[in-house]
Structure 1
Amino acid sequence: MTTTIVPADPLEQVLTQVQTESGNEDLTGLSPEDIAHLAKNLWSWGSGVPAGRQDVRILRGAKGASGALGRTLLETTSPDMPFLVDSLLGECAEQGHEVRTLFHPIVKMADGRMVSVIQIHLPELTGEEAARLEQGARKTLQDTELVVADFKPLKDRMREEIRRLTIMDDAHEAVAFLEWLSKNHFVFLGCREYRFETDADGRVLPEEPIMIEGTNLGLLRDEELNVLSRDAEPLVLTPEIGELLSDPFPLIVAKSTMISRVHRRVACDYVGVKKYDAEGRVNGEVRFLGLFTAEAYDETARSIPFIRRRVKKVIAASGATPGGHTEKAIANLLETWPRDELFQTPSKALGPMILGALHLIGRPRPRVFVRNDQFDRFVSVIVYVPREAYDTSLRERITATLVSAFDGRLVRFQPYFDTGPMARVHFQIALERNHPRPDPAMLEAEIARLARTWDQGFREALMAATLDETHREGARKFIGAFNAAYREAFPPEEAMRDVAAMAELNAARPILARAFRGAGEDADKVRVKIYARAGSIPLSACVPVFEHMGMFVAYETGYPVKPHERPVDDAPDIYWVHDVSMRTENRAGVDLGELGNRFEQAFEAVWNGLAENDGFNRLVFAAGATWREAALMRTLCAYRRQSGMDQPQDVQEAALARYPAITRRLIDLFAARFDPASGASLKQREEACKALREEIEEQLRDVRALADDQVLRRLADLILGVQRTNFYQMDAAGQPHRFISLKIASREVADLPEPKPFREIFMTSPKVEGVHLRFGPVARGGLRWSDRAADYRTEVLGLVKAQQVKNAVIVPVGSKGGFYPKQLPDRSDRNAWFEGGRDAYKEFITSLLGLTDNLVDGAVTHPNDTVIWDGEDPYLVVAADKGTATFSDTANAISLEKGHWLGDAFASGGSAGYDHKKMGITARGAW
């Protein structure tokens, strides 16, 4: 008696299988009730599809038992067959959709049919995405059905080809390979037979192969599909392909241009079996399309027919001793070589690649091996790079390099890691017709550059640098000194530039600046590296300096640099490199080639206290001024402000920056009048100044604002009233003085308050400002410590007016001076505050003597590097006044140091006992 087993209710089968599968799925956001609800809906729909048919649906905004689930469902129903799940997951991945959950119940129907229903949970898709996914899923199911339906005919056709080759001479290896394929080493996807057009001599003509009707199986039932062509382009049997077909081996193994939708979403493998005429000449081909199985990749290369011959040839050609270390190393390389490459690379091309890879064992370095596909549709590139350098970023940069070099597109990449120091990546690039053919050596050099580690690059940059041995040894101390953040931000070549800059730092030069512009950055962008040896520099300290130079600071990043040894004896343990990014406030472009160095020097001068931090520094970029030229304009403007009749400082700064061409001419006017390097006579200087003044006058016509006109015009007039300057003088160390002093013929300068002195010396520096007024060639008067920053000249002028009346018997005309210290310590420390005043006084006295003639052996001598417009003027004596009662000895010490003809009688009231009144130095008629 026969017992009939009735299958369980289909819905019960679905629910049971879904519940079982739930234990292995991500059920976030799904309750058991939701899962059951969705399973019932799936079967309710799937069971309604006619028997033997396939269908697909997309459910956007899917709902569970208690409402919306915030996901989209891809659901399919089909007769059960292999590859369904793999193929659908491949379609989802191809379209960029992450699969959250998958259920795949297989239902046995009462009539014995097996029905596969699949539910794939995806993030919410747009309408367009859903439509595209549905279309792709339908095509995937159709392809899968074609392949499965023709599985037996495909195997039969393979057996037929095996029988045909068996009777051929020297085809044993080809037969063994086809038999090996048939034993679960190849997923058959399609088959098609072609006939080739030949000439009278049997040579294959460069024509499109002729498809044999009735031979299409599997995916190739679609006659529009071509195994080897680019896109829809027909494959023409070129002479190169003809040469391949004429090879005596009866098989061709290559990659197809078709991407499989079935099983794995990769390029299909192609196995061509040549057909021959009665005289043994190739006249056709049977092309099998498929995928090598996982087993094909797992078996040893020496056991696989067809490629085992290649392995043997490569080992034999290497000359390695049988059983020796080298032979074993080559065999291991062949076993781990990309299996597709073993199938597709002839031994004469494979051998040099394997030997090249073998040499990397003893000498690891980047290498590139290029193999062009036999049909010129792909290029296979095997890249070796240091394992420590390999990451996603490097792989993407190598990909971009290869795609650009071959003008192609990436098909796939496959990294491989063993226990050695090198990583191997296999790239496959699809090619277009007439694609570039880059030089492999140049390609290797570029990839080596991309793949080098940062420290390797630094060593190479160090070796390439032009350094003497002392500096090279110091630079070696910086190997390993740069942290990860720095290495991420800057290449090794930039680090060498930074090392060179840090080598310039010392106790006398604690900071240094370097201006540059990053690749591709706009002309209004400026980057500045600040190097410091005394600790990190706060951004708050830098920003005001750059802002006064007309820049807007965007960001700053500081990097500590710690050499493993001190490069020089007095080096710090840690240097700091600050990268400051900024742009010009007015978005104007900056030529760093011309102005970068001036910008760097200006920043350092401000930071080191040589220049003041104010808006006059904007002239560096605005007018191309050096920091000292900006300081000169600051001095000239300060004098005009002290007249009490001129614009405030911000208006002066703005006028000069607003009209940079006029500012440049003002600087030129000053240089024409006073630069001793020109060697011009006073007459020549006068003519040059006249021409420049006329040019300035012409430019002033375009100045719109009255205030701007006043500032610029009065500066031009003032320059012509200056008789001497120390601007071009050098100190004992050969450097410019820290202060700028001007000797002015006040009565030649318009717009000054009365009474106008005969001469005055005006000076400024970051530390002090001061003025000395003389109402005649012979005059004496005290110097006072002023506390009136805005109008100390007005204060001194008032004193000297009173003095002219009070001292009429002693001095024909009065003389007074005053100085204003600008950097005094806090007054709570009385001694420090007082000594700060004394230091300011010293600088003031030095500035006065620096513009005064001397008497040497009775002859008048002028100061060095000074153009003289006012003739001989050796008379300068001073006395004490408010705040300077104890400073006469200080003044006399400076006089002695400078070799001034009055020596320690220069200042009245000193400890030597000189009294100018008693000595008659200031008596009427003494001169």
Structure 2
Amino acid sequence: MLEFAKAIFAHNPTADWLGLESHSLILSLQRFKDFVSSFSEQHKSYVIPVFNGESVDTGSLETNPFTQVMQKSQVEASEIAEIEPETEIMVLSQDMPFIVDSLRILMNQEQLNVIRQLYSVVITTRENGRLISVKSTSKLEENQLEPNQALEAAMYLQVKESLDESQRAAVEEKVNKILKEVRATNNDFGHMLDKCHNLAAQYEKLAASSIEDPAKAQREGMPASETAAFLRWIANDHFVFLGARAYKYVNGVAVPEKGGDLGWLKADPSVDLQEEVPLSLIGDQSLYFATSATVGRIHRPAYPDILRVIEVDSQGQRTGEIRFVGLYTAAVYRTSVRNIPIVRTLAANIANESHFLMSGYDGKFLWQLMETYPRDEWLQSSFDHLNDVFMQVISLQERPLLRVLTRVDAAYRFVSVIVFVPKDRYTTALRRQFEEILKKHLPVMGMNFDVYFSESVLARVNMTIRVNASQRFSVDPELLQAEFSRASLSWEERLVIQMRQMKPKEMHSFLETEFVNHFPEVYKAETSAEEAARDINGLNSISPNKQVHLELQKHDDDAANMLRLKLYGRGNLPAYSKMIPILEHMGFQVENARTHSLMSASGTPYSITHYLVKTEVDVKSVDTIVLQPHLEDAIDRVLSGNGSSDQFNRLLLICGLNVNQVRLLRAYARYMRQIGFNLSYRYMANTLARYPAITKKIVDLFEAKFNLGETSVYQRLKDVAIESHAIGLALEDVTGVDDDRILRQYLVLVLATKRTNYYIQPKDPKENPYLAFKMKPAEIPGMPRPVPHFEIFVYSSKMEGVHLRGGPVARGGLRWSDRLEDYRTEVLGLVKAQQVKNAVIVPVGAKGCFVCKRLPQNVSRQETMEAVQHCYKTFIRGLLSVTDNLVKGEVVPPQNVIRFDSDDPYLVVAADKGTATFSDLANEVAHEHDFWMGDAFASGGSRGYDHKKMG
């Protein structure tokens, strides 16, 4: 504050109001101390440091404002200085109303954040404008100023922003302009008040005569007596007169009188007074109420009110008008409508026309509505509009319904929208939605609002919209009411509407009861009703034999490689730590994830997880309708333990394959590793992903060869030749040597496959699916020797196995191997030994083995053996699924298996390492398949045959 005092006295080198003559240092210093003392009394929270004459710069005091002449025509000035990093604004002025308010309005309009504000009024004594003394106002009583004394105000503002020189100059100019307007308003206030009283006197004379037509004037509440009463009423501290302009009527046109501006209009003639509104619009009214489109800068930051008062002569003829611009005082909004002239007459007329018993419910409700209705609307609306408004609201009969009422002013610059909305539905968020709806339909330039609550079930939202009159627009109350009503619906109501649009009628009642009122608040805050309806559909779509249901969504505002994936499940869905690797194997990079849980009305727990994922491809090229069930199937199989999660799952997205097609390629890749193909499993998957077109051709080749159509073998071989040739041509464009090797090996394996159970569906959907391929190894280049005559490869996510046969009639044991990476090498070595050892028993030998890939951990030996036996039975089923049967001496091929070899019904197995007690299990599976050998299928069983003993 000391710096402020020094600045007031000593730092104003640019102000043009600085005087001519300086006083002595002692006298100046004394006045400086007087000012500081006076200021400190009004701001006791600030400590005033002790100082002496040496602390004040003598040169500065020679130019200090308080030692200078202050002319009457120039009683204010401002100074803006920069203090890093803020800016100081210092104002010295004759003390007047509205200074502080107006300067704060200016700061807000300039977007300057005031962090400190000081304001002090002191008593100054001047002699011909030259400052003589400064005193405190602490002991000043009303009208105690001496003739040569005056009240002067010093204001200090510190703003957060640092302004450069040009910005400081611009703000200083605006500060001085505001001070000029405030001074003009204060100087002419009395003149404007006199004009108001003179106009009241004119109407009092008119009321005493018999010239006016009271019936018509009475309906609009404006008989001459009420007009006069209203003018007297506003002049009695109910209206802050900011400015006035006088007009004369010339040929029916209002022409401003020269020198007829007062107050604010004198300082700023550009203030909007609705000059374009013609006299014809006023009609017979003596008063016309409107709103200025110029935002007020004095006293309150609002659009000022315009009051057009018609001047009449002694004969009641219109001669001109006075347009007052100002602000209604706070008392107006607290005063009963029964006590406001004009308004009281309108209210009485509305009450009379309603024919309600005023002591009854409707009558009391009507008066309550009228008492609480905005005063601006009372004054600016016609009788017919007001009457219609109140009757509409009363027709609601306190029902919780929304009603929208609108009014457009004559100049098309303001639209008034009043919304009656059920109180329990009103929120700030809802009001903001109303604002957004209005912005959609109107050329909005600004908007003010206020909200009124009472004992009624309805809240009232008043919105005044400043619109751009130069743009064409229309206000459709019915359209606004429809959109406001939709916005005001509860989340649950919007959800029911969405559900009824998406679901068959027979499902409405069940789903609404089961789900609508059972979503947690966090979910409702994050999820639209439309999306929630889709979620209910997703929850209801969870298949009884599946763990999850999946849905894919593409949003228009998402990036080209972004996709939204939702998982729905009963109970708890897998943790992110489990799901994210699964999704990454599918080619998705998880960017965001959130999970919501709920308990339905029937007590069933559900979970919804929403993943935002980045993909390797442009999602515009992805058919989500096709991809969605494939991903769901893959995820469900992985979660149930019947599927694999690895890089091959990327082919679902990149190549557009289904789960079975991916499983086919995965199985061939596993077989490649067993026959000595030296490229890694991951590399094979990546190669297929790099060449999606060739990958799809390989799958097409396989399906052309083995599909279940009625195509003859000859035609199939022809189709295979065509597809093979197309793949060969495509391979010419493959640049990588290893990529070429992998793709050609796939081609070779498909061609070498003679039978497959690919098209056989498991009887139990929950059973782990397995694939079996009967191969002709001699057709596969580079096969390790000895090369079997036939080979069956069985693959599933839980086990793998091979069965090698030296000829059509061959027998050999099946062993449980623990060599996951090279179990075929193990069994091939046994085949070599068997060819010598068992040559006496059978012409040629056979050997097989299987591995278990997912044995349970940390369990008992019995549980482990049960898992091994399950894998063994899967292996046997795989072997039998591609083996012919004998029925009444006739060879019967396996159902849904296309054969590219001769009849082959002979298959017998025996126990071996790890399977000594499994023969009964093998025979059990043989009986499941009605295999012709029955208990002779596996030697060593409790009811079977010992092939060694039988010779």
Q: Which amino acid aligns with 1:488?
A: A
Candidates 104, 119, 128, aligned match of 1:104? 119
Tell me the distance in 2 between the aligned counterparts of 1:773 and 1:278.
Answer: 126
- How do 1:363-374 and structure 2 match up within 5 A? 363-374=399-410
Candidates 196, 213, 226, aligned match of 1:173? 226
Report what 1:232 is aligned to.
Answer: none
Report what 2:562 is aligned to.
Answer: 525
Return closer, same or farther for 1:748/1:316 CA change in 2, 3 Å cut-off.
farther
Report what 2:11 is aligned to.
Answer: none
Return closer, same or farther for 1:746/1:382 CA change in 2, 3 Å cut-off.
same
Confirm or deny: 8 A CA contact 2:552 2:565 kept in the other structure. Answer: yes
Report what 1:94 is aligned to.
Answer: 109
Partner deviation per Cα, 1:334-374 (whole Å, 9 max, x = no partner): 22222212221212222333333345562213332221112
Return closer, same or farther for 1:106/1:462 CA change in 2, 3 Å cut-off.
same
Report what 2:7 is aligned to.
Answer: none
Report what 2:721 is aligned to.
Answer: 690
Candidates 450, 463, 481, aligned match of 2:487? 450
Tell me the distance in 2 between the aligned counterparts of 1:369 and 1:640.
Answer: 77
Which is further off, 646-655 or 390-399?
390-399
Tell me the distance in 2 between the aligned counterparts of 1:696 and 1:919.
Answer: 51
Tell me the distance in 2 between the aligned counterparts of 1:362 and 1:35.
Answer: 70
Tell me the distance in 2 between the aligned counterparts of 1:577 and 1:224.
Answer: 64
Return closer, same or farther for 1:468/1:847 CA change in 2, 3 Å cut-off.
farther
Which is further off, 472-481 or 210-219?
472-481
Return closer, same or farther for 1:741/1:13 CA change in 2, 3 Å cut-off.
farther
Confirm or deny: 8 A CA contact 1:764 1:770 kept in the other structure. Answer: yes
Q: Secondary structure at the match of 2:591?
A: strand
Confirm or deny: 8 A CA contact 1:762 1:771 kept in the other structure. Answer: yes
Partner deviation per Cα, 1:170-226 (whole Å, 9 max, x = no partner): 42222221221111111111111335664xxx6x6xxxx532211111121257414
Q: Which amino acid aligns with 1:372?
A: V
Tell me the distance in 2 between the aligned counterparts of 1:560 and 1:757.
Answer: 56
Q: Which amino acid aligns with 2:367?
A: A
- How do 1:671-682 and structure 2 match up within 5 A? 671-676=703-708, 678-682=709-713
Report what 2:694 is aligned to.
Answer: 662
Candidates 652, 666, 678, aligned match of 1:634? 666
Report what 2:418 is aligned to.
Answer: 382
Partner deviation per Cα, 1:657-703 (whole Å, 9 max, x = no partner): 11111111122112111121x43222222222222222222222222
Q: Which amino acid aligns with 1:446?
A: E
Report what 1:891 is aligned to.
Answer: 922
Tell me the distance in 2 between the aligned counterparts of 1:883 and 1:34.
Answer: 103
Tell me the distance in 2 between the aligned counterparts of 1:328 and 1:708.
Answer: 89
Matched, 1:490 2:527: yes
Report what 2:551 is aligned to.
Answer: 514
Report what 1:313 is aligned to.
Answer: 349
Report what 2:856 is aligned to.
Answer: 825
Q: Secondary structure at the match of 1:214?
A: strand
Matched residues, percent identical? 34
Report what 2:179 is aligned to.
Answer: 141
Matched, 1:549 2:586: yes
Report what 2:13 is aligned to.
Answer: none
Return closer, same or farther for 1:109/1:892 CA change in 2, 3 Å cut-off.
same
Candidates 471, 481, 484, aligned match of 1:434? 471
Give the TM-score normalised by structure 2: 0.86
Candidates 384, 403, 411, aligned match of 1:348? 384
Q: Secondary structure at the match of 2:656?
A: coil
Q: Secondary structure at the match of 1:362?
A: coil
Candidates 357, 371, 375, aligned match of 2:393? 357
Partner deviation per Cα, 1:395-438 (whole Å, 9 max, x = no partner): 33322221221022223222223344444322222222233225
Confirm or deny: 8 A CA contact 1:643 1:752 kept in the other structure. Answer: yes
Confirm or deny: 8 A CA contact 2:430 2:487 kept in the other structure. Answer: yes
Per the TM alignment, residue 476 of structure 1 is displaced from its structure 2 partner at its CA by: 1.5
Tell me the distance in 2 between the aligned counterparts of 1:311 and 1:510.
Answer: 68
Per the TM alignment, residue 558 of structure 1 is displaced from its structure 2 partner at its CA by: 1.8
Tell me the distance in 2 between the aligned counterparts of 1:725 and 1:283.
Answer: 107
Q: Which amino acid aligns with 1:340?
A: D
Tell me the distance in 2 between the aligned counterparts of 1:501 and 1:548.
Answer: 24
Candidates 26, 43, 60, aligned match of 2:82? 60
Report what 1:189 is aligned to.
Answer: 242
Tell me the distance in 2 between the aligned counterparts of 1:730 and 1:514.
Answer: 25
Return closer, same or farther for 1:228/1:769 CA change in 2, 3 Å cut-off.
farther
Tell me the distance in 2 between the aligned counterparts of 1:419 and 1:98.
Answer: 39
Matched, 1:651 2:651: no
Tell me the distance in 2 between the aligned counterparts of 1:418 and 1:379.
Answer: 25
Report what 2:92 is aligned to.
Answer: 77
Give the aligned length. Answer: 876
Partner deviation per Cα, 1:467-486 (whole Å, 9 max, x = no partner): 56577335423343222221
Confirm or deny: 8 A CA contact 2:935 2:944 kept in the other structure. Answer: no
Report what 1:610 is aligned to.
Answer: 642
Confirm or deny: 8 A CA contact 1:770 1:818 kept in the other structure. Answer: yes
Tell me the distance in 2 between the aligned counterparts of 1:153 and 1:899.
Answer: 117
Report what 2:629 is aligned to.
Answer: 597
Q: Secondary structure at the match of 1:611?
A: coil
Which is further off, 178-187 or 417-426?
417-426
Return closer, same or farther for 1:682/1:412 CA change in 2, 3 Å cut-off.
same
Q: Structure 1: 5+ residue runs without aligned partners?
A: 1-7, 63-69, 230-234, 921-927
Matched, 1:150 2:188: yes
Confirm or deny: 8 A CA contact 2:762 2:769 kept in the other structure. Answer: no
Q: Secondary structure at the match of 1:578?
A: strand
Confirm or deny: 8 A CA contact 1:515 1:597 kept in the other structure. Answer: no
Which is further off, 898-907 or 408-417?
408-417
Give the TM-score normalised by structure 1: 0.88
Tell me the distance in 1 between the aligned counterparts of 2:861 and 2:82.
Answer: 83
Tell me the distance in 2 between the aligned counterparts of 1:860 and 1:284.
Answer: 118
Which is further off, 534-543 or 732-741?
732-741
Per the TM alignment, residue 826 of structure 1 is displaced from its structure 2 partner at its CA by: 2.6
Report what 2:258 is aligned to.
Answer: 213
Which is further off, 655-664 or 91-100?
91-100
Report what 1:331 is aligned to.
Answer: 367
Tell me the distance in 1 between the aligned counterparts of 2:392 and 2:50.
Answer: 59
Tell me the distance in 2 between the aligned counterparts of 1:827 and 1:797.
Answer: 32
Report what 1:624 is aligned to.
Answer: 656
Per the TM alignment, residue 617 of structure 1 is displaced from its structure 2 partner at its CA by: 0.4
Q: Secondary structure at the match of 2:804?
A: strand
Per the TM alignment, residue 581 of structure 1 is displaced from its structure 2 partner at its CA by: 1.6
Return closer, same or farther for 1:862/1:296 CA change in 2, 3 Å cut-off.
same
Partner deviation per Cα, 1:746-781 (whole Å, 9 max, x = no partner): 222333223322221112111111111122111111
Q: Which amino acid aligns with 2:430?
A: L
Q: Secondary structure at the match of 1:803?
A: helix
Tell me the distance in 1 between the aligned counterparts of 2:465 and 2:860.
Answer: 77
Return closer, same or farther for 1:340/1:653 CA change in 2, 3 Å cut-off.
same
Report what 1:251 is aligned to.
Answer: 287
Candidates 115, 119, 122, aligned match of 2:159? 122
Tell me the distance in 1 between the aligned counterparts of 2:381 and 2:747.
Answer: 82
Partner deviation per Cα, 1:74-105 (whole Å, 9 max, x = no partner): 32111011111111222223333444443221
Q: Which amino acid aligns with 2:306?
A: Y
Q: Secondary structure at the match of 2:83?
A: coil
Which is further off, 418-427 or 375-384?
418-427
Confirm or deny: 8 A CA contact 1:60 1:124 kept in the other structure. Answer: no
Which is further off, 276-285 or 900-909?
276-285
Confirm or deny: 8 A CA contact 2:450 2:461 kept in the other structure. Answer: yes
Report what 1:227 is aligned to.
Answer: 272
Candidates 886, 910, 914, aligned match of 1:855? 886
Q: Structure 2: 5+ residue runs without aligned partners?
A: 1-28, 126-147, 207-211, 213-222
Q: Secondary structure at the match of 2:260?
A: coil
Return closer, same or farther for 1:311/1:91 CA change in 2, 3 Å cut-off.
same
Which is further off, 507-516 or 488-497?
507-516
Report what 1:47 is aligned to.
Answer: 66
